[in-house]
Amino acid sequence: MRAIDTSHVPAEQFDQLERAAAEISPEMLDVIRALTESIRAGAEITAFEPTATLTPNEAADRLGMSRAHLYKLLDRGEIVFDRVGRDRRIPFAEVIKFEQRRQHDRRELAERFARQQQNRAAAVDELSDPL
């Protein structure tokens, strides 16, 4: 796994790449567009081998949580891991999947709270109209 520093790539070069995309397969074009959008948004891009694994310390750091909390997630089966002797190794792909699920769950919860607030406001408006 390695971080790719994109801070020195001029934005014009991304524009040139998009114009040259006419000769690229649709699948590769999707990859290029996703990378371009992420880089323009200031995201950090990380490349990793499909077989890359993390120690619990590395995974906890990546996920921004304590190692103790990570162990609870591992024990509950929320993140898949392999045992290497007594140690645990977490496939990097599983950490990414967990991050995506957590993002989705947070977004869904925020939307549910927003709808709840809207429903409450509508109910108050409806009750106050006859008064």
φ, ψ (nearest 5 deg) of residue 123? -65, -40
Mean pLDDT of the chain: 86
In the predicted model, what is the mean pLDDT of residues 93-100?
A: 93
- Percent of the chain past pLDDT 90, that is, above it, reads 42
Give the pLDDT band of residue 19 (cuts 50, 70, 90).
Answer: confident
**SS3 of 33, please?**
helix
- The conformation of residue 44, written as its DSSP 8-state character, comes to P
Our CA angle for 100, 31, 102, nearest 5°, is 5
Q: Is the pLDDT of residue 50 over 90?
A: no
pLDDT of residue 70: 97
Q: What is the largest CA-CA distance in the chain?
A: 71
How many angstroms from the chain centroid is the CA of residue 61? 15
